Amino acid sequence: MSYRIPMGPYHPGLEEPYKLDMICEGETVQDAELHIGFNFRGIEHLAETRNYYQVIALMERVCGICSFIHTLTLCQAMEKLAGLEAPPRAKYIRVVMAELERLHSHVLWAGIAAKLMGFKTMFMTCFALREKVMDVLQAISGNRVNYSMNRVGGVNRDVEDPLALLPLLDELEREMTRTVIPIFTTSSTAISRCAGIGILTHEKAVSCAVVGPMARASGINQDLRRDAPYAAYEEMKFDVHVEPAGDVKARILVRALEILESCKILRQALTNMPPGEVSVGGDKFAFVTGTATSRVEAPRGEVMYSVSWKEGSRNPARVHVRTPTYANMPAVRWMVRGARLADTPLIQASIDPCYSCTDR
């Protein structure tokens, strides 16, 4: 006999509200329906009522984890419409902030994955590590969540002593290579919960057009930082890690290795940061009529903004946001099919979902 089990919209296994209706035969999930929209705030419509300063603050609130990425993507699109280019030092600071945000997002996710595995000690270890990254973000921007770093034409604040951040990277790298990565990849507890579950095949990943670590964990070699570089990524040397297995373990491994790559990028950006101004263009901007697009590799994958403007207007005519979870979430339906019911919280969490982003 089949029966329907709802998970969510409010459930201990979910970080944010959404609903997974699972149709089960015994303990095995046969199919699932996804329901989103519990965080729908109409942000795209609100953006049309905000001027070119206010819209940056608004879009920073699309997502609490990758708030910097959203304003970076928006500002890059607005710069194209204003005919501005951020100065070299601002581009480096954007790389630093983006990689710090990736670090804190990936470490937070590792902690949540550990919690869902029942591995509380690892959860605490990961959150202690994340706290150190948050401290650096706060030291640079004065804020822990919405950093208010981006502006049209550059960034709002300089990183006065970039080299002072290097010891943090050493410590983070040491903890990752000594504790987190070995435990996630060799511990029998972690492997028994993660290996071979929630598989998204390469073919299905291509068909669903998934992005970010989720795509890379299904054997798709894509990363905008390398394929369509923005800010100062063209000057950074790093590897893109791809795992073919497509299971939860592969997604953990890809994110763990990306933490090390982020440290590598941060070290280059901090060491080679050029001197100079951090913004151009003054305080008043003139935008031309037209549409500009911008894409950025967020911690969860590609974010795309499409921004339209009418010349002479202070407000955008249209702002469309395509977030990574919006692209990744539909694949959960295929990942939970055939899975044990008890594994579904971990499987859905393995895409590192952000429903706040998805719903907008």
Partner 1 sequence: MTDLETIREKLGAAEPWVESRGTLWLNPGAAGVRQVTAVMNEAHARFVTITAYQLPGAEGFRLEYHWDLEGRLLGLPFTIAGNAIDSIFDLCEAADWIEREIHEEYSLDFTGREYEPLLLRKGDESGVNLREAAAKPVPAAQAAKEVAQ
- Chain positions contacting partner 1, by CB under 8 A: 33, 35-37, 40, 42, 45, 76-77, 80-81, 206-209, 222, 224, 227-228, 290-295, 302, 304, 306, 308, 318, 320, 322, 326-327, 329-330, 359
Rounded to whole angstroms, how far apart are CA atoms 311 and 20?
44
CB 327 to partner 1: min, Å: 7
Closest alpha carbon to 204 in 188, 192, 220, 183: 220
For the bound state, the minimum distance from the C-beta of residue 353 to partner 1, rounded and expressed in Å, comes to 14
Nearer to partner 1, 302 or 352 (CB): 302
* Alpha carbon distances (Å) from 216 to 105, 119, 129, 213: 17, 25, 24, 5
Is the CB of 37 or the CB of 64 nearer to partner 1? Answer: 37
Q: How far apart are CA 27 and CA 343, in angstroms?
A: 10
- Given the complex with partner 1, which of 35 and 178 has the nearer CB atom? 35
Closest contact distance (angstroms) between CB of 334 and partner 1 is 10
Please name every residue paired with 302 in a beta bridge, in sequence order, or none if there are none: 297
Closest distance of CB 162 from partner 1, Å: 29
In the complex with partner 1, the residue whose CB is nearer, 80 or 102, is: 80
Structure tokens at 247: 């299971």
CB of 207 to partner 1, least distance (A): 6
CB of 328 to partner 1, least distance (A): 10
Q: Which residue(s) pair with 20 in the sheet?
A: 7, 34
Nearer to partner 1, 264 or 322 (CB): 322
The rounded Cα 290 to chain-centroid distance in angstroms is 28
CB of residue 302 to partner 1, shortest distance in Å = 7
State the CB neighbour count (10 A cutoff) for residue 136: 21
Smallest separation, CB 208 to partner 1 (Å): 6
SS3 call for 7: strand
Q: Which is nearer to partner 1, 46 or 145 (CB)?
A: 46
Match 């944010």 to its residue by tokens: 16
Q: Which tokens in the block code for residue 263?
A: 């440290």
Residue 237 vs 275, nearer CB to partner 1? 237
d(CA 167, CA 238): 20
Give the C-alpha separation, 285 to 211, whole Å: 33
Quote the CA–CA distance of 115 and 110 in Å, as a whole number. Answer: 9
CB nearer to partner 1: give 120 or 310. 310
Measured from the CB of residue 326, what is the shortest distance to partner 1 in angstroms? 7
Tokens 């990574």 sit on residue: 324
Closest CA to 185 of 174, 198, 176, 173: 176
DSSP-H helix ranges across the chain = 43-47, 54-59, 67-82, 88-117, 120-141, 166-175, 181-186, 188-194, 202-208, 212-216, 224-227, 248-271, 324-328, 332-336, 344-349, 355-359
Residue closer to partner 1 (CB basis): 36 or 217: 36
